[in-house]
Structure 1
Amino acid sequence: MAKHREITILGETVLPGESKTINMEIARLHTMTKLKVPIIVERAKTDGPIVLFSAGLHGDEINGVEIVRQLIVRKINKPKRGTIICIPVINVFGFVNKTREFPDGRDLNRVFPGSKNGSLASRFAFHLLNEIVPHIDYCVDFHAGGASRFNAAQIRIVPNNEELKQLADVFNAPFTLYSKNISGSFRSACGRMGVKMLLFEGGKSLDINNDITQDGVKGAKRFLAHFDMLNPKKNAKEAPGPSIYIERSGWVRAKFSGLFQLHCNVGKFVEKGEVIAYITDPFGKFEHKVKAPHAGYIINANDAPIVYQGDAVFHITQKLQHD
């Protein structure tokens, strides 16, 4: 691994042993109010890897923001060696508006590598890739489920990549999901630039869940300990068991519209035919059971109180035919 003597972001240099918060300001609100994206850089005097912990790529995914905030406030981001960069909120415009997208309606996670003179979201993508990503070796990007769907804590990696598999084992989230890169995503762009990224999914949008937060923080500590970067005062606890790897999974969709009532927890293993929810009408005329179509772990559940016919209500793992 190459030695990292100087790191210069947006014209500001951070030397070994220094701490600095660099504010990225690309555009203002329509009221002329400044909106800054704090980039928090902590460098040890001893050389080592450069790790990025990022969140808020989607402005309404607050749980990831809370995970990175805890890494900062608990001083987990002060490394024994190497450098830790934290960006708690990338999409600050969406964060202010409590929306997934940028004000231009674009999903930042679909416009990478971006353009210096493109749309607002595209400009953010461009600066992220050109100012920060060239410096980093590893990244953990924290996300949450959208549209009222609650994700079990999971790491997503591309299949057939042994180094990412080893890093996922180190992070050791309750679940690890094989997932191909999506065109225009931050993960895809980082992969093309040689950065090893783990994508964390957990919880749902516009929500903070303590269990998910702790899964993220504990995994980050194990990740740093693996590279001998974790502050000796911090203790990386082993997970209760090995991560459950998922190669295939499928959605269960509502067969009726109505009030939706969950009857199982995310992360639970269910048997084929087990009742996992009910769909009822507001007037007491019907009550339909939602049954598991096969045995598997529930890795995502719809938390919405009302669903329509065809809505995705559960994501359940499937066994491979050769299992």
Structure 2
Amino acid sequence: MSDKEVLHILGESVALGESAKVSFNVAKLHTQNTIDVPVIIERSKKPGPTVLITAGIHGDEVNGVEIVRQIIAKGINKPKRGTIICIPVINVFGFIHMDREFPDGRDLNRVFPGGKGGSLASRVAHKLMTEIVPHTDLILDFHTGGADRFNAAQIRIVKNEIVLDELAQVFGAPVIYYSKNLNKSFRNSCYKLGIPMLLFEGGKSFHIDSTVTNTGVNGTKRVLYHLEMLNRKFKVSKPKKGCIKIADSKWIRANHSGMFKSAVSVNAQVKKGDVLGHITDPYGSFNHFVKAPNDGYIFNVNESPIIYQGDAIFHISTKLKS
């Protein structure tokens, strides 16, 4: 698979030592214009693994797109051995309109593995799974928190997978979150094919955070170095601090609607009863304190100034993995 002298992908042939930008044809619009997503391929003369780096499954998650953009702009995607395939924006429709979903109203990350005769989102998922994913040995998929919920930089993997565990620790994000593969997600479909994926989450929609971006770029370099694929001109930094491994967690939800202000930031370690934030109204008639229900780490904070009863406002760990 990864050691082929000629890579046949999306109707193009790319030999060892060659670079190529091929088109992932997403759809033809009602105006007869075609929508093509650029797929950037870099192959070393020396055979080795094939790594796929993706972002923009949700069109409003620009921080992930920025991470892949930097990987390409800095030349990190030019491997010492093997092949690196980059797709910075999969959901180009959503990216153009700064919308999470596809024009058909579907969440692309809930229609995998898709179908050739299905909805627009389903057809894109099917093409990705049949024409690109089978060529790969490892996938790094970059996401951000939805809406105004700011995610701590984290790698999400399933429990009890030795290869994923090792790669997640090599990546060196501040948090490893052990979460189940969601049904019909990109990650779950790749898992069923036996292709390991590190899913990176960090920051929030419509926002580029330099700390999160640096974590994603540096983590990618560490993984490529581990696979002996990183070009010699790049230095690999050590993670700044020890990794928090979260085995279980819960969402803290708002008991009241109102104006919301957090008193803690992501990665904060809190004790049961600590004040995490407060909810008020515009008239100064009440001030409700949001308190930690247990000891743990806060790894997602809702940064919206206005919230409604039942909104998820903090994600807190309930059990750590040793």
Structure 2-normalised TM-score?
0.97
What is the SS of the residue equivalent to 2:35?
coil
Instruction: Report the secondary structure of 2:28's partner residue.
Output: coil
SS of structure 2 residue aligned to 1:70:
helix
Answer yes or no: is 1:308 the counterpart of 2:303.
no
Which region of structure 1 is more displaced relative to structure 2, 188-197 or 66-75?
188-197
- The code of the aligned residue for 2:278 comes to Y
1:241 Cα deviation after fit: 2.7
CA distances 1:201-250 after superposition (whole Å, capped 9, x unpaired): 11111111111100100100000000110010011111023321110111
- Secondary structure of the corresponding residue to residue 103 of structure 2: coil
Equivalent-residue separation in structure 2 for 1:30 and 1:280 (angstroms): 48
Deviation string 1:161-220 (CA, Å, 9 cap, x unpaired) is: 111101111111100011111111111111111211110011111111111100100100
Partner residue, 1:153: 153
Give the deviation of 1:31 after TM superposition: 3.8
Q: Which amino acid is 1:136 matched to?
A: T
The residue number in structure 2 matching 1:127 is 127
Mapped partners of 2:132, 2:22: distance in 1: 11
- What residue in structure 2 maps to residue 194 of structure 1? 194
For 1:198-237, what aligned pairs fall within 5 Å after superposition? 198-237=198-237
Would you say the 8 A contact 1:4–1:48 is kept in 2? no
Structure 1 equivalent of residue 271 of structure 2 = 271
Say whether 1:299 aligns with 2:299: yes
- The alignment partner of 1:36 has SS state of strand
Q: Find the counterpart in structure 2 of residue 247 from structure 1.
A: 247
Q: In the alignment, does 2:72 pair up with 1:72?
A: yes
* Equivalent residues in 2 for 1:38-57, closer than 5 Å: 38-57=38-57
Q: What is the SS of the residue equivalent to 1:190? A: helix
Which residue number corresponds to residue 86 of structure 1? Answer: 86
- Is the aligned partner of 1:185 residue 2:152? no
Which residue of 2 is the match for residue 141 of structure 1? 141
How far apart are 1:268 and its partner, in Å? 1.1
How far residue 115 of structure 1 moved from its aligned partner, in angstroms, is 1.0
Superposed displacement of residue 3, structure 1: 2.3
Give the aligned residue type for 1:223: V
Counterpart-to-counterpart distance in 1, 2:102 and 2:30: 13
The one-letter code of the counterpart of 2:69 is R
Match of 1:26, SS state, is: strand
Deviation at 1:144, TM superposition (A): 0.7
Letter paired with 1:243: C
Is the CA contact 1:267–1:298 (under 8 Å) kept in the aligned structure 2? yes
Instruction: Tell me how far 1:96 sits from its aligned partner.
Output: 1.1
1:94-133, Cα deviation, whole Å (9 max, x unpaired): 1111111111111111111111121100110011011101
Contact 1:169 1:242 in 2 (8 A): no
Unmatched tracts of structure 1, length 5 or more: none
Which deviations, in whole Å up to 9, do the C-alpha atoms of 1:7-53 show, x marking residues without a partner? Answer: 11111011000000001123134444432101000000001100011
Identity %: 57
1:20 maps to 20
Q: How many residues align?
A: 322
Verify the 8 A CA contact 2:18 2:42 in the aligned structure 1: yes
Distance 2:121 2:113 in 1: 11
Q: Provide the C-alpha distance between the structure 1 equivalents of 2:95 and 2:229, rounded to a whole number of angstroms.
A: 30
- Match in the other structure for 2:258: 258
Q: What RMSD over aligned residues (CA atoms) do the two structures have, in Å?
A: 1.4
- Consecutive unaligned residues of structure 2, counting only runs of 5 or more, are none
